[in-house]
Copies of this chain bind each other. A is one copy, B any other.
């Protein structure tokens, strides 16, 4: 038990078995809670499949009314208070605010990584399709990638910097080879096809 939680006024204590749902998205019973015992997982379910945003451990503080699922990953005891008492709780125990800010800051960081990753993979997939089309059209010989990196980046809906990062990585992985200033050749069309995320109809 963290020291800062010792000073808190009495809240409601609930027990959750492993796998039990502590909170579902857009819970209307707004409460702030702290993990007294056990461990929980904050996650997204839906289009993004199951994505863990953060693990809450003893002393972690969170709120129930977020668009996330919170699930006990081991038998857990949760101490909670109505959100309306948050201001009083912070006056009594300012560390509570510091812990809450750190916790939610960690979730923002994970979210931003997931966004970058999703956006990056989408650009990578589009570039792979673009390269394969050029490869087929050129009859498998080196081709001019584009008139300007700027233009290609715009076409792929990304920045020049991200585009360069992806092109460099593809070169390092021997998927493509640079043959001139703006000229490239596809070396491994099979792996590039996998990168496009295209599905064989099966």
Contact = CB atoms under 8 A, between A and B. Distances in A.
A135 B104 CA distance: 46
B123 A47 contact: yes
Contact of A86 (B66, B98, B118): B98
A76 to B, nearest CB: 22
A5 interface: no
Per assembly, the copies of the chain total 2
Contact of A112 (B68, B104, B197): B68
Contacts of A101: 86, 97, 100-101, 104
A199 interface: yes
Interface residues of A, number: 58
Contact of A46 (B97, B159, B199): B159
A119 B118 contact: yes
Contacts of A48: 115-116, 118-119
Contact of A49 (B51, B95, B104, B159): B159
